[in-house]
Amino acid sequence: EDQVTQSPEALRLQEGESSSLNCSYTVSGLRGLFWYRQDPGKGPEFLFTLYSAGEEKEKERLKATLTKKESFLHITAPKPEDSATYLCAVRGPGANSKLTFGKGITLSVRP
Amino acid sequence: DVKVTQSSRYLVKRTGEKVFLECVQDMDHENMFWYRQDPGLGLRLIYFSYDVKMKEKGDIPEGYSVSREKKERFSLILESASTNQTSMYLCATNSMAYEQYFGPGTRLTVT
């Protein structure tokens, strides 16, 4: 069974204080690791897909990286508008397109 | 841009009522999903559909059923609502690259 663990559960940063969010996964044959951002009361918004160890993707202040066991979402010089819950999900082998989600990391950035 | 719409943002129902949640996507995607999201439990898959009239149980199907009569529309049905079904319900569809796109969510309260 695929498993995804995200840590820490919550993270509070000062504006400009860079940090990383962790997503550890167990899946036999990774077919994709996905990062989402979710604002309170809204649906998750897709950010990145990573497929193989060593791959990196960037968008503004966010950079996602992937190893064989975990993924990191690095946030450089965050701003208050980066405050949100960040979700990680994996897709394993098999014909269907189900994703297994972690419970998310709630990030608060203080001005 | 992929657009996923859900019939209601907020819904209040009484115990025992039959509840219909509707989801519509505009991208002609094959796969559609229904999740519920609860604090501390994350996103949990209720049902998904990979074609018209085709459905498959997710991780927590008990107390729910689904209907997909047209490709763009996927309905979640609570046959007899109970208080433990109070939750945020999220519909999603996925692209050919398997990244999922979510609707805005329906916050259902069962009293």
Query: Rounded to an integer, what distance in angstroms lies between the CA atom of residue B12 and that of residue B29?
Result: 30
- The minimal CB distance from A97 to the residues B42, B94, B101 is found for B94
pLDDT tens by residue, B37-72: 999 899 999 999 998 888 999 999 999 999 999 999
**Residue B51: closest CA among chain A residues belongs to which residue?**
A96
CA atoms of A7 and A5, how far apart (whole Å) = 7
pLDDT of A3 > 70? The answer is yes
Nearest C-alpha of chain A: how many angstroms from B66? 17
| Partners of residue A46 in chain B, C-beta under 8 Å | 99-101
Phi, psi of A41 (to 5 degrees): 75, 10
Please list the residues that pair with A33 across neighbouring strands.
Answer: A50, A90
pLDDT at B106: 97
Q: Given a cut of 70, is residue A4 above it in pLDDT?
A: yes
pLDDT band at A93 (very low <50, low <70, confident <90, very high): confident
Band (pLDDT 50/70/90 cuts) for residue B109 is: very high
Alpha-carbon span A69 to A67, nearest angstrom: 5
Answer for the pair A2, A94: CB distance below 8 angstroms, yes or no: no
List pLDDT tens digits, range A37-74: 999 999 999 999 999 999 999 999 999 999 999 999 99
Tell me if B68 sits within 8 A of B56, measured CB to CB. no
How close does chain A come to B52, measured CA to CA in Å? 15
The interface residues of chain B toward chain A in range 53-82, judged by CB-CB distance below 8 A, are: 56, 58
Chain B environment of A7 (Cβ under 8 Å): none
Determine the pLDDT at residue A95: 65
**What is the side-by-side strand order in the sheet with A3-7?**
A3-7, A19-26, A70-75, A62-66, A56-59
Q: What average pLDDT does range A19-42 have in this prediction? A: 95
CA distance, residue B95 to nearest chain A CA (Å): 10
